[in-house]
């Protein structure tokens, strides 16, 4: 595969050379971009000699030759690796600034990017950078590290670039998934719905939307065309070409019904409010008037079940959150709701980073334990890719 390695200005630039060697030894084609800062730590000559790779700097970018280098490199690369990635380069990437060869290539490049931040702890924890990271991860950037350890300032803390072996591992994982969903249209529905009691109060649940966001990011990295329908979330939803924000179950139902016919697969990870008040008050209910309140609730429409009559070629992935892991009842739910794959998990999953549960499909059930939401997202998407490959 064609790997483009961007080296920016940090003392960890030395470690990038080891990363380059590992990737080259695994048989990949390598080209390197060295920023002005990067060239303060390693020279273009040492990089090209050690890695046997063409190495470019801003001098090549500004050279009066017919070659449009940033476009050529952006089209050539199957994967872009930024290691080390400094505060400055990450901020420029997030803001869409393109004033040198590296950032102009990033601006033109459309594939996946793996980046390994390296900086001092104060810079890593700065709210500005954390905001930029949200944007970068929303754009599909895959972060590796940083780790904790001794820093160039003599301090000990978080900010060290991840080890080259770990970065190479993530690169291989991404390459294995590369393009496996190209040409497929995915509709990913996530977040929680809210049902109004009155203009101020709502009935809802504790879903954060993190699982849906992980699915969106990985589906895009795997080359799928993703549309998303998003209820309320505790996180910033990653951008997709079509992104519809909804609040109530009725709004979600309408949006899903209108987008379902055009998709190849629907992933329904939304935490739909199962009940809504039978009467909604136009005015805010007052405590003085109603010191004891008894609510009358009715069930909301079942979105998945409403799709059954229009289901044709589409695959459907659904989730079920149960307090007990009764696999027989879960399999029944999978079939009744027309799901090709169902992820069964427990309420402990809400808002946390790892998931334990079972994957159920027509072949049976497979338990899993302690998977990160990113890993579960990859497994679900790989399941879809396999189904389509088998035809």
Q: Is 337 in the site for ligand CTP (CB under 6 A)?
A: yes
Q: Which stretch binds ligand CTP (CB under 6 A): 96-104, 207-215, 240-248, 317-325?
A: 317-325
* 274 versus 374: smaller Cβ distance to ligand CTP: 274
Residue 115 pairs in a beta bridge with: 82, 143
Q: Measured from the CB of residue 306, what is the shortest distance to ligand CTP in angstroms? A: 8
The token pair that represents 363 in the structure block: 């072949």
* 166 versus 302: smaller Cβ distance to ligand CTP: 302
Of 113, 314, 318, nearest in space to 212 by CA: 318
Q: Is 320 in the site for ligand CTP (CB under 6 A)?
A: yes
Q: Measured from the CB of residue 390, what is the shortest distance to ligand CTP in angstroms? A: 24
Is residue 192 within 8 A of residue 207, CB to CB? The reply is yes
Q: Is 349 in the site for ligand CTP (CB under 6 A)?
A: no
CA atoms of 145 and 140, how far apart (whole Å): 16
Q: Is 318 in the site for ligand CTP (CB under 6 A)?
A: yes
Enumerate residues 233-292 that contact ligand CTP by CB under 6 A. 268, 270, 272, 274
Q: Which stretch binds ligand CTP (CB under 6 A): 1-9, 38-46, 109-117, 316-324?
A: 316-324
CA atoms of 279 and 282, how far apart (whole Å): 10
Q: Measured from the CB of residue 110, what is the shortest distance to ligand CTP in angstroms? A: 31
From 2, 205, 345, 386, the catalytic residue: 205
CA atoms of 341 and 171, how far apart (whole Å): 28
Is residue 186 within 8 A of residue 212, CB to CB? The reply is no
**39 phi and psi angles, rounded to 5 deg:** -70, -10
Q: Is 321 in the site for ligand CTP (CB under 6 A)?
A: yes
State the number of CA atoms in the 13 A half-sphere of 10 facing the CB: 30
Interacting residue with ligand CTP among 319, 331, 358, 385 (CB under 6 A): 319
Q: Measured from the CB of residue 236, what is the shortest distance to ligand CTP in angstroms? A: 21
* 148 versus 298: smaller Cβ distance to ligand CTP: 298
**DSSP H/E element including 3:** strand 2-7
CA atoms of 246 and 193, how far apart (whole Å): 8
CA atoms of 344 and 358, how far apart (whole Å): 5
Q: Measured from the CB of residue 36, what is the shortest distance to ligand CTP in angstroms? A: 50
Question: Interface mask (CB under 6 A) for ligand CTP, residues 288-307, using x and -?
Answer: ------------x-xxx---
Determine whether 198 is exposed, middle or buried from the number of CB atoms within 10 Å of its CB (0-12, 13-18, 19+). Answer: middle
Q: Could you tell me the sign of the dihedral formed by the alpha carbons of 377, 223, 227, 238, in that order?
A: positive
Per the annotation, the verdict on 386 as an active-site residue is: no
Query: Between β-strands 202-203 and 195-196, what pairing exists: parallel, antiparallel or unpaired?
Result: antiparallel
Q: Which stretch binds ligand CTP (CB under 6 A): 17-25, 156-164, 169-177, 315-323?
A: 315-323
Q: Which stretch binds ligand CTP (CB under 6 A): 47-55, 70-78, 136-144, 312-320?
A: 312-320
Q: Is 5 in the site for ligand CTP (CB under 6 A)?
A: no
The token pair that represents 49 in the structure block: 């000699």
Q: How many CB atoms within 10 Å of residue 297?
A: 14
Q: Is 124 in the site for ligand CTP (CB under 6 A)?
A: no
The catalytic residue positions are 205
Residues forming contacts to ligand CTP in the complex (CB under 6 A) are 268, 270, 272, 274, 300, 302-304, 318-321, 337
């Amino acid at each position: 595969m064609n790997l483009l390695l961007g080296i920016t200005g940090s003392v960890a630039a030395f470690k990038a050379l080891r990363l380059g060697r590992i990737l080259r030894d695994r048989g990949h084609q390598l080209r390197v971009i060295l920023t002005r800062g990067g060239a303060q730590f390693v020279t273009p000559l040492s990089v090209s000699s050690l890695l046997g790779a063409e190495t470019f700097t801003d001098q090549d970018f500004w050279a009066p030759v017919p070659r449009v280098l940033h476009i050529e490199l952006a089209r050539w690369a199957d994967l872009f690796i930024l290691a080390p990635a400094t505060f400055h380069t990450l901020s420029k990437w997030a803001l869409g600034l393109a004033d040198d060869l590296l950032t102009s290539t990033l601006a033109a490049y459309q594939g996946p990017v793996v980046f390994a931040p390296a900086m001092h702890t104060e810079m890593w924890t700065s709210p500005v950078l954390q905001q930029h990271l949200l944007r970068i991860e929303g754009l599909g950037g895959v972060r590796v590290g940083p780790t904790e350890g001794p820093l160039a300032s003599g301090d000990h803390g978080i900010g060290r670039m991840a080890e080259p072996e770990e970065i190479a591992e993530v690169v291989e994982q991404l390459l294995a998934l590369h393009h496996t969903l190209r040409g497929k249209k995915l509709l990913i529905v996530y977040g929680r719905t809210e049902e109004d009691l009155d203009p101020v109060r709502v009935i809802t649940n504790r879903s954060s939307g993190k699982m849906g966001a992980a699915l969106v990011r990985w589906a895009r990295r795997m080359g799928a065309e993703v549309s998303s329908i998003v209820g309320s979330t505790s996180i910033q939803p990653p951008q997709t070409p079509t992104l519809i924000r909804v609040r109530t179950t009725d709004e979600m139902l309408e949006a899903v019904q209108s987008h379902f016919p055009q998709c190849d697969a629907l992933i329904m990870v939304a935490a739909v409010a199962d009940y809504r008040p039978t009467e909604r008050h136009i005015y805010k209910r007052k405590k003085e008037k109603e010191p004891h309140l008894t609510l009358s609730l009715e069930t909301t429409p079942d979105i998945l079940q409403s799709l059954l009559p229009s289901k044709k070629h589409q695959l459907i992935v659904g989730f079920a959150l149960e307090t007990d892991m009764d696999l027989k009842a879960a399999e029944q739910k999978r079939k009744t709701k027309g799901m090709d794959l169902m992820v069964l998990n427990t309420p402990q999953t809400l808002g946390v980073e790892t998931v334990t549960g079972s994957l159920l499909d027509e072949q049976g059930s497979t338990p899993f334990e302690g998977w990160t939401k990113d890993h579960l997202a990859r497994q679900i998407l790989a399941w879809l890719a396999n189904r389509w490959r088998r035809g």
